[in-house]
Chains A and B, each alone.
Chain A
Amino acid sequence: MISPLSSIREMGQALRRKQVSSVELTQMYLDRLNTKGKAHNAVAELTPDLALAQARAADDRLARGGAHALTGIPFGVKDLLATKGIPTRWGSPGHDDQVFNYDATVVERLQNAGAVLLAKLEMIELAGGGNYNVADASRMGPCGSAWDKGLWAGGSSSGAGATTGLGCVGFSIGSETSGSILCPAAFNGVTGFRPTYGRVSRYGAMALCWTLDKLGPICRSAEDCGVVLEAISGPDVHDGSAFSEKSSLRARGPKPRIGLIKEDFTKNKAPAAEKAYNDAIAVFRKLGYQTVEVAMPDLPYETAMNIIVDAEGASAHENFIRGPRFQELKDVNQVAGFAAALETRAADYLWAMRLRTEALAANAIWEKCDCILTPTFYHRSLPIDQPFDKTWVNMGGDLISPPNLLGWPAIGFPWGFEDGAPIGAQVIAPAMREDVCYRVARDFQRETDWHLKKSPLA
């Protein structure tokens, strides 16, 4: 039987060589979701009947030949994506009876490619837009990291990160408004790809912030992320922000110049991250990459991000906030945050959106480099049972918000360990240049094996 931690390429080869069937793969992952996935509070809803029917259809398609690279590969999606006839609860107890009668564009595209939908994966309720403070801000309870159930899986795409790291799915789909793909990627030792804003249709995805939300793959390697991103990107008449062309990850031009910002490892007491960073730079130099010091313009990115999340999040969910089930949210911090956000001023919101215009000047950084390499966070994940305002110390993460405001793509991937749990890096590139993120991360993973490390829980 094939390893549950196999890559998409390995699973695809095994399927084509008839060493395994999609039905067998699907049953293996369903069993693992039922045990390991549920034990980590990572599963919102299993879809066994649909999955097995899709797997049988995939096996037929494979037998006929001409199948897509994803045909027969089982996957899970963050529970903010609409799935026809299957509950879509947005991680929120107040939405536990919500069922849509259509599939999100991303789900539809994956199913059209022949991929097999195994499950809806748990997430932080309403993607955390009310400013959550506990891992338990999730309908199914706190989601444990693939590496240590006592550590948090990250958010808000918690279940996508955990199940991918545990080998409970072939790959998964997460979403990011400001860090929600990169954070679970770092905390579960997996690879997450946040595409440029507009690269992937948001149709059928819960809105938190219409001007910030992105959907992207969470996989076990950059190469897997590339396969999935190419399948889900492209124009969509249902989403006016979607680009008119698909992404192309084909390498263009000479090796990208890697920009390095000033890091504060000592100040943040992060020797493990410092070692990972220095080791990675040595790998890149050995591969012929050049590095150059760069700096982002000093702008109040975070103030703008806070205001936009408040304004758009409160507007998107206003009926719920004003409705009778609002206080069913699990984290009372979210109740307070969403309620206060109802009062966000129009002048503040418009200032934030005007700041984003001014922040476009940050694109000047790409005259000096082609991408930026930085730790996603300075430390591993945090204890699952303590409020974050007590534990979120010296974590860094300075380059989470600014690139999200600017719509730039980033890929997050593992590059070391701290006290037995993974730590991760991100490579950020200019808008529309996912190919740069992909090339750099793929080259790193061809030279190192951090992404192949197996969790003792997997």
Chain B
Amino acid sequence: MPEKISRRELAKRGLLGAAALAVPAVLKAQDTQEKPKVDPDIDRKIALIESKLAKPLSDRARELLKASISNNENNSTNRLKHKLPENSEPCFVYHVTLAGDRP
């Protein structure tokens, strides 16, 4: 067993979800077997996110943000591998209530 395992292997074995909270982020920058593709648009994406923040990010945060963006894009890509039935509903539906009934 390799001492470090790939992000894909982590996800397969259920670690990444756990990593979100219970367990630390095993993480987004950990993948040593699959080199992340260089995103030619990464600087623009970082600038876009940073423009929403009250203060500029530190160099270290900006570096980690790259990994986080890449990770989120992997999620977007990976989820397409699992086709859902056309028109299937999400696990919530809108419940009509009168305004006064809202908690």
Contacts and interface: CB of A to CB of B under 8 A. Distances in A.
A350 B79 contact: no
Contacts of B5: 393
A239 B16 CA distance: 29
B23 A397 contact: yes
Interface stretch (A29-37, A272-280, A354-362): A354-362
Interface string A168-209: 000000001111101100000000000000000001000010
A401 B58 contact: no
B89 interface: yes
The 8 nearest A-B residue pairs measured at CB: A179-B22, A401-B17, A305-B17, A388-B24, A336-B64, A340-B68, A353-B90, A398-B14
Given A268-B1, A303-B79, A352-B79, A358 B88 contact: yes
Interface of A: 124, 127-129, 131-135, 154-156, 176-180, 182-183, 203, 208, 211, 236-240, 267-269, 299-307, 309-310, 321-324, 326-327, 332-333, 335-337, 339-345, 348, 350-358, 360, 388-389, 392-402, 404-405
Interface of B: 1, 3-5, 11, 13-30, 45, 48-50, 52-55, 57-58, 60-61, 64-65, 67-69, 71-72, 75-76, 78-79, 81-82, 84-85, 88-92, 95, 102-103
A322 B13 contact: no
Nearest to A186: B22
Contacts of B17: 178, 301-302, 304-306, 400-402, 404-405
A367 B27 CA distance: 35
B49 A400 contact: no
Given A303-B78, A322-B52, A352-B79, A179 B23 contact: yes
29 contacts: A129-B20, A132-B25, A183-B22, A211-B92, A300-B82, A302-B15, A303-B11, A303-B78, A309-B21, A322-B52, A324-B55, A327-B55, A336-B64, A337-B25, A337-B28, A339-B68, A354-B88, A354-B89, A355-B82, A357-B89, A360-B91, A388-B25, A389-B27, A389-B30, A393-B3, A393-B4, A397-B13, A400-B17, A404-B17
Nearest to A338: B68
B54 A324 contact: yes
A450 B24 CA distance: 26
Given A333-B27, A343-B49, 19 more contacts: A132-B24, A177-B21, A179-B21, A238-B103, A304-B79, A306-B20, A307-B79, A324-B54, A327-B61, A332-B58, A332-B64, A354-B89, A355-B82, A358-B84, A389-B27, A393-B4, A397-B14, A398-B13, A400-B22
Nearest to A135: B24
A388 B23 contact: yes
Contacts of B25: 128, 131-133, 333, 337, 388-389
B15 A389 contact: no
- Counting chain B CB atoms within 10 Å of each CB, the highest count among A269, A343, A396, A404 belongs to A343
Given A131-B27, A332-B64, A389-B30, A354 B90 contact: yes
Interface majority SS on B: helix, strand, loop or mixed? loop
A177 to B, nearest CB: 5
A155 B13 contact: no
A269 B5 CA distance: 14
Contacts of A155: 21-24
A357 B102 CA distance: 25
A177 B22 CA distance: 8
B21 A156 contact: yes
Given A128-B21, A203-B103, A400-B23, A340 B53 contact: no
A249 to B, nearest CB: 24
B68 A337 contact: yes
Contacts of A344: 72
A394 B1 contact: yes
Contact of A336 (B24, B61, B95): B61
Contacts of A358: 84-85, 88
A310 B16 CA distance: 13
